[in-house]
Structure 1
Amino acid sequence: MNFISAQATKDATMAESILKSMQTGKTFIHYNGNYHSKEFGGIYWYIKQQNPNLKMAVISVFESEDPELKVPAKDYIPTDFNLIIPTDMTKTFKIQ
């Protein structure tokens, strides 16, 4: 239970910082781990509570062994865009 509360506090704080840093007419990009915007929750949810008309997109990255680069069904999460990369793509670190 403490983890969930800590995560929510962190997401709310990041959302507040994003909203304070945004400038009219400028694009703001924020990179975060999946859990912080999974299924349009977390940071996304907190920002939308403060500014429901703000245009935002959630992009998820998936690895796929499928030659047609389809999102593996077990990994699918609702999102605006899915970036699908082959599992053998060069990486600077090992995904576990």
Structure 2
Amino acid sequence: LVDFAKEKKIKFVAANIPRRFASQVYKQGFEALNALTPQEKTWIAPLPIAYDATLPGYVAMLEMSGGHGGDNLPKAQAVKDATMGYFIAQNLVAGSVFIHYNGTYHSDNYEGINWYLKKLKPQVKIVTIAAVSQKDLDKLEAEHLNKADFIIVVDEDMTKTR
């Protein structure tokens, strides 16, 4: 994507939080971000990070982890979502389309990045696309209903890469 943007002279925004900062939140909570230098703080969403532990995606993350990572696991996810939402908001241009590529967990069910972006820019129109895998390609499974505006369904046996 970076090479394509360079070739076509398209603005490209790096919206992710540096991985080590999210790792610090996972280990020590949001408080770890207070120790960042002033310059490092420019690479993340402004502090304090808003956080709603009752959002279904963060609740599900805690349940899926079986308690490993404690309360800081969804906080690490939230600081990623908040930072991406913040940098999207900072780079929106009225009357233009902003395309953001992210893993689906960051925008499933209109949560994650969307929640933070709507807090910053309540009037922004967001359209999401999710990719899901399932055995039956003819009927969307209930767990995927309303996950996104557009849902791409692929065979569960399809080769996946990371």
Considering the TM-score relative to the shorter chain, is it more than 0.5? yes
Letter in 1 for 2:140: V
**Which of 62, 65, 80 is equivalent to 2:149?**
80
Q: Which has the higher strand share?
A: 1
SS of corresponding position for 1:62: strand
Query: Relative contact order, CA 8 A, sep 6+: which one is greater?
Result: 1
Gaps of 5+ in 1: none
Moved over 3 A (4+): 86-89
Q: For 1:71 and 1:46, locate their aligned partners in 2 and report how far apart those are by CA, in whole Å.
A: 28
Q: Deviations over 1:4-52 (max 9, x none)?
A: 1111111111111111111122111111112111211110000111111
Gaps of 5+ in 2: 1-70
Corresponding residue for residue 2 of structure 1:
72
Structure 1 vs Structure 2 CA RMSD? 2.1
TM-score, normalising length: structure 1: 0.77
Structure 1 stretch 11-20 or stretch 78-87: which is displaced more?
A: 78-87
Corresponding residue for residue 37 of structure 1:
107
Q: For 1:3 and 1:88, locate their aligned partners in 2 and report how far apart those are by CA, in whole Å.
A: 29
Q: Deviations over 1:41-91 (max 9, x none)?
A: 1100001111111111121112233252x2233x415221212234466x5
Could you tell me the percent identity over the aligned residues? Answer: 38
Corresponding residue for residue 28 of structure 2:
none
